[in-house]
């Protein structure tokens, strides 16, 4: 049987990779403007890292991780998200001693064993951003503004929804009120919520079942239970977003699927991807670094799903043009093929995207290939032209052509051609 890719694992083919590169380049560019530096961390970590950070009673740890025992009997997991590995590295290398506030981002694959759907893969990719060592509410606003700027520069329109999850001081009161509310409705909730009601009650609030959702309309809102510190923080975050002109709406049902969040949480949502509505999500996690045995430092971050960004980009903006070539060299005859081979190399060294084949097919077939590549120019070179020191340069878009002197020095000739095709 032919071997195929695993279910939920997708190849990103050349026709799609242009969109991915656009996302990645724009992201790096925006993140660098906000003072972020890239950190690259391993894909495999000890399972414990995720259990201790994401939380034992979360969907991710309970049923979505790719976990296995390695040859030494240690339990390892493919990372399901980016925050835990980045924090592990931050602590392991004491990065806070180099710079009290660290602004870090990482880009790469994450793994979750979920049911694959449009915009939901088992290997997916995230832009993952963290700021460690500061807890000013303006920072929360700044981080959301950065995500917003990235989406805006990509040409995407989404909604920003925010909430506060409080802190260890105020959340227990809310949790108790919610537990009472849920106890009154025991037996009428979906199977998952009946379980969550006892293991992790906050998680019921973002249940996807419409029957549960309808009942939760009257559930207590966390924002009514915030302690003065958390209430002030949340108000200042909203004011900060306002100062930057970033529109945000409150969503009291947003609780996020990871246990580590405190205070501010946010999601960037769209109606254009069906059930996969979150393009990005994040929040503050002030206790997490200490919980992983690091220094007592606050943090905030977000993850953005690149598959969903790519889908939205194709839907809202349209796919980008093929990579193309600046110049296609159509060479006919052995001497021309040899000279063309050298020309291509020298031109590539001077920054030109050059394409050519080595087998000397007919001019018609070579020009067809130039068309497939959407080459801007074609250089037509035959043994006879070569002998008379001339080639033909065809402007593929305009359909015009000129003769082009070849000269003795290949580098000078190439520089002249570079200047000429840069003009248009
Ligand atoms: P969802 O509610 O869609 O399952 P999530 O809350 O589990 O999302 P996070 O853990 O916050 O997602 O991850 C941040 C972002 O990563 C999401 O907003 C989404 O864009 C993307 N993402 C998460 N899981 C997947 C997946 N299985 N496939 C593709 N993208 C994903
Ligand atoms: Mg999920």
What is the per-residue pLDDT across 379-415, written as a single tens digit (0 to 9) for each?
A: 999 999 999 999 999 999 999 999 999 988 999 999 9
For ligand 1, pick from 62, 128, 276 the residue to mutate: most ligand atoms within 8 Å of CB. 276
Question: 305: Cβ below 6 Å to ligand 1?
Answer: yes
For ligand 1, pick from 111, 115, 251, 281 the residue to mutate: most ligand atoms within 8 Å of CB. 281
Question: 126: Cβ below 6 Å to ligand 1?
Answer: yes
Point out the residues of the chain with pLDDT beneath 50.
Answer: none
CB 418 within 8 A of CB 379: no
CB 30 within 8 A of CB 24: no
| Residue 321, pLDDT score | 62
Question: 120: Cβ below 6 Å to ligand 1?
Answer: yes
Nearest-atom number in ligand 1 for the CA of 276 is 3
| Residue 319, pLDDT score | 67
Nearest-atom number in ligand 1 for the CA of 80 is 10
Residue closest by Cα to atom 8 of ligand 1: 278
Whole-number Cα distances in Å, 235 to 66, 167, 243, 358, 394? 39, 15, 12, 66, 63
User: From ligand 1's centre to the CA of 157, what distance in Å?
Assistant: 18
| Residue 199, pLDDT score | 87
User: From ligand 2's centre to the CA of 237, what distance in Å?
Assistant: 26
288-297 pLDDT tens trace: 999 999 999 9
Q: How far apart are CA 57 and CA 55, in angstroms?
A: 6
Question: 312: Cβ below 6 Å to ligand 1?
Answer: no
Strand boundaries in 193-298, DSSP class E: 249-250, 262-269, 278-284
Interstrand relation of 390-395 and 377-382 (parallel, antiparallel or unpaired): antiparallel
Give the global pTM.
Answer: 0.91
Provide long-range contacts, Cβ within 8 A and 24+ apart, for 334-337: 334/360, 334/383, 335/383, 335/386, 335/387, 336/381, 336/382, 336/383, 336/385, 336/386
| Residue 244, pLDDT score | 97
The dihedral sign for the CA sequence 406, 409, 410, 413: negative
Whole-number Cα distances in Å, 73 to 168, 266, 384? 36, 39, 71
Question: 273: Cβ below 6 Å to ligand 1?
Answer: no
User: From ligand 2's centre to the CA of 80, what distance in Å?
Assistant: 10
Question: 288: Cβ below 6 Å to ligand 1?
Answer: no
């Amino acid at each position: 049987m032919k071997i195929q890719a695993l279910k939920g694992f997708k190849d990103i083919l050349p026709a799609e990779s242009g969109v991915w590169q656009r996302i990645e380049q724009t992201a790096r560019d925006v993140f660098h403007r906000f003072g972020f530096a890239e950190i690259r961390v391993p894909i495999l970590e000890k399972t414990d890292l995720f259990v201790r950070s994401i939380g034992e009673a979360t969907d991710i740890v309970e049923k979505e991780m790719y976990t296995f025992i390695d040859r030494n009997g240690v339990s390892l997991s493919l990372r399901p998200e980016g925050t835990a590995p980045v924090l592990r590295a931050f602590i392991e290398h004491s990065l806070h001693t180099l710079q009290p506030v660290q602004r870090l981002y990482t880009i790469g694959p994450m793994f979750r064993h979920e049911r694959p759907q449009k915009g939901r893969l088992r290997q997916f990719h995230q832009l993952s951003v963290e700021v460690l060592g500061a807890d000013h509410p303006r920072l929360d606003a700044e981080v959301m503004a950065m995500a917003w700027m990235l989406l805006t520069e990509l040409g995407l329109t989404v909604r920003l929804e925010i909430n506060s999850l409080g802190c260890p001081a105020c959340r227990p009161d809310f949790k108790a009120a919610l537990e009472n509310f849920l106890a009154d409705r025991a037996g009428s909730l979906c199977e998952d919520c009946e379980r969550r009601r006892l293991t992790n009650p906050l998680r019921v609030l973002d249940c996807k079942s419409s029957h549960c959702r309808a009942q939760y309309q009257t559930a207590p809102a966390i924002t009514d239970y915030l302690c003065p510190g958390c209430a002030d923080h949340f108000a200042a975050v909203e004011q900060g977003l306002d100062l930057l002109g970033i529109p945000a709406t409150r969503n009291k049902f947003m609780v996020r699927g990871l246990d580590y969040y405190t205070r501010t949480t946010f999601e960037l949502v769209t109606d254009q991807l069906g059930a996969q509505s979150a393009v990005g999500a994040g929040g503050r996690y002030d206790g997490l670094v200490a919980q992983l045995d690091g220094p007592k430092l606050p943090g905030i971050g977000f993850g953005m799903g690149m598959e969903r960004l790519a889908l939205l980009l194709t839907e809202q903006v349209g796919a980008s043009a093929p990579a193309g070539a600046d110049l296609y060299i159509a060479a006919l005859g052995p001497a021309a093929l040899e000279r063309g081979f050298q020309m291509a190399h020298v031109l590539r060294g001077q920054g030109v995207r050059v394409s050519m084949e080595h087998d000397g097919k007919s001019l018609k077939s070579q020009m067809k290939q130039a068309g497939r590549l959407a080459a801007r120019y074609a250089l037509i070179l035959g043994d006879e032209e070569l002998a008379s020191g001339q080639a033909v340069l065809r402007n593929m878009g305009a359909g015009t052509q000129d003769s082009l002197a070849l000269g003795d020095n290949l580098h000078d000739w190439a520089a002249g051609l570079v200047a000429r095709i840069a003009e248009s």
